[in-house]
Amino acid sequence: MGVENEAEGLYQESLIHLERWELKEAEEVLWKVLDIEPNHVRALNKLGVVYAHRQQLDQAERFFNEAVQTDPQFADAYSNLGNIYQERGWTDRALSAYQKALFLDPGHPAATHNMGVLYRKTGNIGKGVDLLKQAARAEKGRLRGKIYSSPRTKRLIGLGWAVVILIGLLVLFFLNR
């Protein structure tokens, strides 16, 4: 197994731990990823997420900034920085970070959602609600794209069509008897 494959496998393992809110385990695995590949931008970002979940905002901000320095085109890190700034009450900095994320990745669901929350908190409820609706549509579209691009889903869809055709042929057969 190559170094990149090993780092990627560990990164995927860390995501499972994060989904389960096993922050200690996720952190340990992410540090292993960074030992193998110090500039693994997604691992840097997720390490920031771990610290943000623990309300260790200085550490979280440090890793999000490191991710941005490693890859200035990585929209997720800007969106996460916006969350840290919003948590600290730095509205202008949060808005700027969300806008940067959306510039890099138009329709970025998390950045759109978080900017909507920010607008609602600051009293611009109409714009906030519009952004929250956009975020929901964007997330639904991305999930649909992931589902339909999965080889397993493609097989299931093919199998479903085969069953529908078979049932149709059986109905025609019995109707023509």
Max CA separation in the chain (angstroms) = 76
| pTM for the model | 0.73
Q: Please, what is the Cα angle at 45 between 120 and 78, to 5 degrees?
A: 40
What tens digit of pLDDT does each residue of 151-165 get? 666 676 777 777 777
pLDDT for residue 96 is more than 90: yes
Q: Which of 40, 88, 94, 86 lies closest to 67 in space, CA to CA?
A: 40
Query: What domains can you pick out in the chain, each with its CATH number?
Result: 1-69 (1.25.40.10), 73-177 (1.25.40.10)
Q: What average pLDDT is seen over the chain? A: 85
**pLDDT tens, 22-81?**
999 999 999 999 999 999 999 999 999 999 999 999 999 999 999 999 999 999 999 999
The pLDDT of residue 145 is above 70: no
DSSP 132-147: HHHHHHHHHHHHHHHH
Query: How high is the pLDDT of residue 81?
Result: 97
